Structure 1
Amino acid sequence: MTSLTPRNVSAAAFAKAIDRFGAAIGKQWVLTSDEDRATYLDPYAMGDGMDHESSAVLAPASAEEVQALVRIANEHKVPLWPVGRGKNFGYGAAAPAMRGNVILDLSRMNRILDVDEKFAHCLLEPGVSYFDLYNHLKDNNIPLWMSVPGNSWGSVVGNALDRGIGYTPYGDHTETLCGLEVVLPDGDMVRTGMGAQANSKVWQAYHYGYGPGWDQMFVQSNLGVVTKAGLWLQPEPEMTAKITLALPNFEDASWALDILTELRRRDVIQHNIVFGSPVRAASVQSQRKDWYDGPGALPNSASEEMMKKLNLGWWNTKLFLFGYAGAVQAHVKLIRDLFEPKLGKKIDFEIWQKGDPVEKSARGIPSTLALQSVNWYGGRGGHLSFAPVMPPDGKLILDYAKRTKRLYDEVGHDYYASFTIGKRHINNVSLILYDRDDADMTARVDKLYRTLVARAAADGYAEYRGHISYMDIVADTFDFNNGAITRLNDRVKKALDPNNIIAPGRNGIGREGAKA
């Protein structure tokens, strides 16, 4: 067994806990070797990743086994770090925020428990991947579509619980959650919403229940372990249309974002719109050395060469339309009327109608192509993202982009930007690519990330998600009334989890030294 133990747990107590974990789920599902634990390190860590090393890994096969493990963990004061499939790349993957936590790997719990074709919802365990659900729907000819994130080999449930997004009308994945089954930190089990009724027939039909709605309490938190989750799916539309727009000038962001945000607010465009720079497109199909191999940030001439050879604009966006044929055709015309005069050319949508090969549609299809971007600098690549939530104002966003690019230029790093347009906001996504074994580069990346966090906070904007190494500094930017939200989170944490067993420190909740 590993010599590493969780903080404040003696070697003797940890050995007893490991024996009891094995008795509860089978010794073969308690992983303690150096080789096993190494597979759960952050593959994008800036360095060796050992500061987020686990002391062991537990792999239960059922909610009942999760209950048993949580109760044992409480008795021995052993902290657990739950993960669905551990593929949350760019945010720490499966590694725990605090070194020595025992990883609770739920990937063996991978049953698709129900798909209701008529009412368009499903019930999943946390180990179900996007590929699992997509193949199930496709292989069984179920006319329901799912939303997928850019890199989609992770957990459907886990992504929704971390407020991940996709690019269809159901792309706000947290909003599609409807009914959770949760093991609480003392081992008790609850079902939220209408599932609180033992024989409920509408658990996945109605977001709420009777009294407070608790689902959001388990989103981006460490107040329980979700063992089942209901999600809504998209009924197959009659028609889709899609187009890629390339906007030639940096300044085009201002007017284009104003048009797109208005279309998004009015639900003409029903999906999260991604609006990205040349490096975003080039990094999945080439490496930096193909364009420039010198010091400092990528020069404008290299970006212009990318644009020319890859048929890109300074800003590039894909638009999708879904629905009945008449509505889609009307919206195609509207978008043409808005963009063609600005671009000075005709734009053509790719139309799909029900019955055509689904691969040609705007359906969400799982892919891992986005992972290619980490090869940009060569070596063992990685990426880190800072994506503050901002007002959907074109002029403001353009000014912010200029300021951000200057920061990248100052530290000698290539500017990779995209803006994700939601219903009433924009996430200004500053992706930072790096070679994780280049010490000078990773030091610059760390400085750049911290600078971006501090600057956004000073401007009144904050991140909506956080990497395990930066959870505390992101949490500290939510500072109204001297951090009242952190105090509230810690009070609830202390009430439900007095031993701080479930994911201590996740998103700044229950971190060391916290005062409830």
Structure 2
Amino acid sequence: MADRIFPPGLDAASFDSAINALKRELGEDKVFDTELDRNTYIDPYALGDGLDHAASAALAPTSVEEVQAIVRLANEHKLPVWPVARGKNLGYGGASPVLAGSAVLDMTRMNQILDVDERYAYATLEPGVGFYQFHEHLTNNDIPLWMSVPANGWGSVIGNALERGIGYTPYGDNTTKLCGLEVVTPTGEIVRTGMGAMEGNKSWAHYPYSFGPSWDQMFVQSNLGVVTKANMWMMPEPEMTAHAQVNLPEMEDIKWAMDILADLRLRGIIEHNVVFGNYLHDASAFTTRADWYEGEGPIPDEIAEKIQETYNVGWWTFHLSLFGDGGVVEAKQKIVNEAFEPRLGKKLEWRHWQKGQPREPFSIAVGVPMVLPLNVVNWMGGRGGHIGFSPILPPSGELAYDAFLRRKRRFEEAGLDYYSSFTVGHRHIANVNMILYNRDDADMVSRARNLFTQMIKDAREEGYGEYRTHIDFMQPVADTYDYNNHALKRLNETVKDALDPNGVIAPGKSGVWPARLREGRE
């Protein structure tokens, strides 16, 4: 259970003074500081009990003015706050703060869909708007615009984009579809980025820059402000889509298949992020490990073969989607067939969706949220959890195969099942190595933690860095970005100290600490 814990510099009396001031300002129904409240914000997948990241309280504003009041009082009382959009950043720490004792600034109640412009294909949203809520709004109002949704549909549309999350339509690089933010700075001032910096500007959601420096990405994966609304570009509904599953029977097939995919992505034939995953993807979503094997060590090859046969998957499997007018889709389908079929030795089987048909059978490939992939946490039994190590690689089949062999060997050394995928972006690969564990098995948790730590070291030695990580590992991952004696880290700290002199906004986020808390963090 999460006992009362206070952030550095505050004792019980000064913390209570801060909480009482917040209750007077916001109302008691928006400030949560009981033991039950604190337990609610513990990471459900924590590598351990999660108490090393326990919050001291939670604050639930309903307006930007209340966010300003929270930030003002946080400065006055030196109370660090940890902003979350909906707190569903599962696998990365959930709603838990890096610094134990921080108060969670939970913006779930700020969930207004402020504008959806069908003609120009954008939406203006508050951070509490979730994928399911937004999908329902679009569907109920017959708005022919599609979201790009991640595997976990419980999360926030804006929150996912601010963490560089991805989806699987052509608009799947979600952070690049942000076009103008409204932000409460660490001193409580409201600033709008892009064209929104001009009062009454009519192009805020149309052009992502303004005049002079552009600051949107400064607030992505950062602790330099609290985003209270954002514009998001959306995908106009296409006339049709085509979908095919590609099974690769051999481990080595990743080499040639990845090179073909990278070429098709670069040329714009395939426009979405392609998840190139191993056989455990399907098995872990629908069954548990005990359904297949209860022995020690990683799953043996004969069990792997049985899983592949049962779910009609290869050692590697990926899904391709094509979008656009009918003639465009048909032309792209021909190009994809000519690229893959000679190597596969058989024809690709395509399923098609036409405008007006239900999209649900095609799920996240066409912007329909789901949560089925979260079933993977049940794979090892007990109170399950998952955490992903995801270094970025050039889109080379040879490099991907080499990374696969290295990571697979580390999983085997740790006695854990190798669950991995390579998400093929426009000019990169994100190698997502998913560690599945049972939180009730202390030895397994220890092995999972050691495996993650080892992979950080390995990737750095190979010249790769992770793009997004769990709160436990933000500091060691940030430390791998060491060019010119950690020049980027020093730049981040300089900006942090200038904008947030009291260090109250999310200290430790992405390895960036304010001056007053920096001592001893190395």
Q: TM-score, normalised by structure 2?
A: 0.97
**Distance in 1 of aligned mates of 2:205 and 2:15:** 40
1:255 aligns with 2:264: no
Aligned residue type for 1:507: S
What secondary structure, in the 3-state scheme, does the structure 2 residue paired with 1:461 have?
A: coil
Aligned residue type for 1:125: E
Residue of structure 1 in register with 2:213 after alignment: 212
1:7 aligns with 2:8: yes
For each residue in 1:266-306, what CA deviation from the matched residue of structure 2 results, as whole angstroms up to 9, or x when unmatched? 11110000000011221001111111110011111111110
Aligned residue type for 1:488: L
What secondary structure, in the 3-state scheme, does the structure 1 residue paired with 2:338 have?
A: helix
**Distance in 1 of aligned mates of 2:486 and 2:493:** 11
Shift of 1:399: 1.5
For each residue in 1:330-389, what CA deviation from the matched residue of structure 2 results, as whole angstroms up to 9, or x when unmatched? 111111112111111121211122222333554111001011000000000000100100
The more displaced of 102-111 and 331-340 is 331-340
1:394 to 394, 397, 401: 397
**Distance in 1 of aligned mates of 2:433 and 2:356:** 39
1:481 aligns with 2:487: no
| Aligned pairs (5 A) from 1:83-232 | 83-232=84-233
Residue of structure 1 in register with 2:49 after alignment: 48
Shift of 1:115: 0.2
The answer for unaligned runs of 5 or more in structure 1 is none
Aligned residue type for 1:503: A
Identity %: 54
1:498 aligns with 2:501: yes
For each residue in 1:403-456, what CA deviation from the matched residue of structure 2 results, as whole angstroms up to 9, or x when unmatched? 211111111110001000011100111100000121110111111101111000
What secondary structure, in the 3-state scheme, does the structure 2 residue paired with 1:22 have?
A: helix
1:375 aligns with 2:378: yes
The more displaced of 302-311 and 357-366 is 357-366
**Distance in 1 of aligned mates of 2:100 and 2:241:** 47
Residue of structure 2 in register with 1:455 after alignment: 458
1:384 to 374, 378, 387: 387
**Distance in 2 of aligned mates of 1:17 and 1:400:** 49
1:58 aligns with 2:53: no
Shift of 1:225: 0.3
Indicate conservation of the 8 Å contact 1:352/1:360, yes or no.
no
**Distance in 2 of aligned mates of 1:503 and 1:360:** 40
Aligned residue type for 2:119: K
Residue of structure 2 in register with 1:277 after alignment: 278
For each residue in 1:470-508, what CA deviation from the matched residue of structure 2 results, as whole angstroms up to 9, or x when unmatched? 000000000001111000000000000011000000000
Residue of structure 2 in register with 1:471 after alignment: 474
**Distance in 2 of aligned mates of 1:429 and 1:4:** 34
**Distance in 2 of aligned mates of 1:343 and 1:264:** 19
What secondary structure, in the 3-state scheme, does the structure 1 residue paired with 2:74 have?
A: helix
1:410 aligns with 2:413: yes
What secondary structure, in the 3-state scheme, does the structure 1 residue paired with 2:366 have?
A: coil
Q: Do the aligned partners of residues 411 and 3 (structure 1) sit closer, same or farther apart at CA in structure 2, a change above 3 Å counting?
A: closer
Indicate conservation of the 8 Å contact 2:359/2:368, yes or no.
no
What secondary structure, in the 3-state scheme, does the structure 2 residue paired with 1:469 have?
A: helix
Shift of 1:3: 3.5
What secondary structure, in the 3-state scheme, does the structure 2 residue paired with 1:12 have?
A: helix
Shift of 1:146: 0.6
CA RMSD after TM alignment: 1.3
Indicate conservation of the 8 Å contact 1:322/1:328, yes or no.
yes
1:294 aligns with 2:292: no
1:427 aligns with 2:425: no
**Distance in 2 of aligned mates of 1:295 and 1:210:** 61
The more displaced of 420-429 and 350-359 is 350-359
**Distance in 2 of aligned mates of 1:186 and 1:2:** 30
Aligned residue type for 1:417: S
Structure 1 runs (4+) deviating above 2 angstroms are: 1-4, 355-362, 511-516
Indicate conservation of the 8 Å contact 1:29/1:58, yes or no.
yes
Q: How many residues align?
A: 516
What secondary structure, in the 3-state scheme, does the structure 2 residue paired with 1:317 have?
A: strand
For each residue in 1:197-251, what CA deviation from the matched residue of structure 2 results, as whole angstroms up to 9, or x when unmatched? 1111111000001111010110010000000010000001111101111111111
**Distance in 1 of aligned mates of 2:80 and 2:450:** 31
**Distance in 1 of aligned mates of 2:511 and 2:359:** 43
Indicate conservation of the 8 Å contact 1:46/1:437, yes or no.
no
Q: TM-score, normalised by structure 1?
A: 0.98
What secondary structure, in the 3-state scheme, does the structure 2 residue paired with 1:75 have?
A: helix
Shift of 1:88: 0.1
**Distance in 2 of aligned mates of 1:392 and 1:101:** 39
Indicate conservation of the 8 Å contact 1:2/1:32, yes or no.
no
For each residue in 1:29-52, what CA deviation from the matched residue of structure 2 results, as whole angstroms up to 9, or x when unmatched? 110110111011000012211111
**Distance in 2 of aligned mates of 1:398 and 1:352:** 34
**Distance in 2 of aligned mates of 1:194 and 1:316:** 43
The answer for unaligned runs of 5 or more in structure 2 is none
What secondary structure, in the 3-state scheme, does the structure 1 residue paired with 2:108 have?
A: coil
Aligned residue type for 1:376: W
**Distance in 1 of aligned mates of 2:198 and 2:399:** 48
**Distance in 1 of aligned mates of 2:25 and 2:316:** 54
